[in-house]
Chains A and B, each alone.
Chain A
Amino acid sequence: SQTIHQWPATLVQPVGSPLSLECTVEGTSNPNLYWYRQAAGRGLQLLFYSVGIGQISSEVPQNLSASRPQDRQFILSSKKLLLSDSGFYLCAWSVVWGETQYFGPGTRLLVL
């Protein structure tokens, strides 16, 4: 069966520090991968998606970046965090583009 992992679960970082959030998927090959951010009490904002290794599409201009160094690994990074980067970050994968997505447990990031 397929499993998706995200870590860390919680992160408190000072403004200006770097960020690296990791997401890995098990039990499937060549998944579509997604990074979302969810502000408190709000819906999900799509940040990045990837349909294959090394292929990254960005949805919103910001100081975040994403990489897909391996087929089932998706990394969200920042060189310098802003206060506005605080939020709940969710990684997801899908088999079929535009259809069911399977979400990880999320990372709660607090930038102080």
Chain B
Amino acid sequence: SQQGEEDPQALSIQEGENATMNCSYKTSINNLQWYRQNSGRGLVHLILIRSNEREKHSGRLRVTLDTSKKSSSLLITASRAADTASYFCATDDERGKLIFGQGTELSVKP
């Protein structure tokens, strides 16, 4: 089954720097989503980007989608310590179920 694979698995940056996480998947999709999970908590939806969209913004978040390369990136600008969390991409399979990747663990040091 298709799966979003995040890269890198872990990322450590200083406050104020930008953080970029990538997601690759295997088969065609209708949409791709990014979620955030603080340690020990549930996931929080960040952005949904549809297959016919190339870029989407939400506050300090910027998501791009390249369907020809089957990849997406999540950029967090001017990161803050509160951005420390795990970030997951999720793609819909042929039946519409979401398949989550293993996540990128982001650490933002003050």
Please classify how large the interface on chain B is, using the bins under 10, 10 to 19, 20 to 34, 35 or more. 20 to 34
Find out whether the CB atom of A98 lies under 8 angstroms from the CB atom of B30: yes
Q: How far is the CA of A88 from the CA of B38 in the complex (A)?
A: 13
| Interface SS of chain B | strand
Find out whether the CB atom of A103 lies under 8 angstroms from the CB atom of B42: yes
Find out whether the CB atom of B100 lies under 8 angstroms from the CB atom of A90: no
Q: How far is the CA of A49 from the CA of B95 in the complex (A)?
A: 12
Find out whether the CB atom of B88 lies under 8 angstroms from the CB atom of A43: yes
Find out whether the CB atom of A101 lies under 8 angstroms from the CB atom of B98: yes
Please classify how large the interface on chain A is, using the bins under 10, 10 to 19, 20 to 34, 35 or more. 20 to 34
CB contacts under 8 Å to B, within A39-63, are: 42-44, 46, 49, 59
A104 / chain B contacts, CB cutoff of 8 Å? 42
Find out whether the CB atom of A46 lies under 8 angstroms from the CB atom of B97: yes
Q: How far is the CA of A88 from the CA of B41 in the complex (A)?
A: 9
Interface positions of A (Cβ within 8 A of B): 42-44, 46, 49, 59, 88, 90, 92, 97-106, 108
Interface positions of B (Cβ within 8 A of A): 30-31, 33, 35, 40-45, 48, 88, 92, 96-103
Given contacts A103-B35, A103-B44, 10 further A-B contacts (CB under 8 A): A43-B102, A44-B43, A88-B40, A98-B30, A99-B31, A99-B33, A99-B48, A99-B92, A101-B98, A105-B41
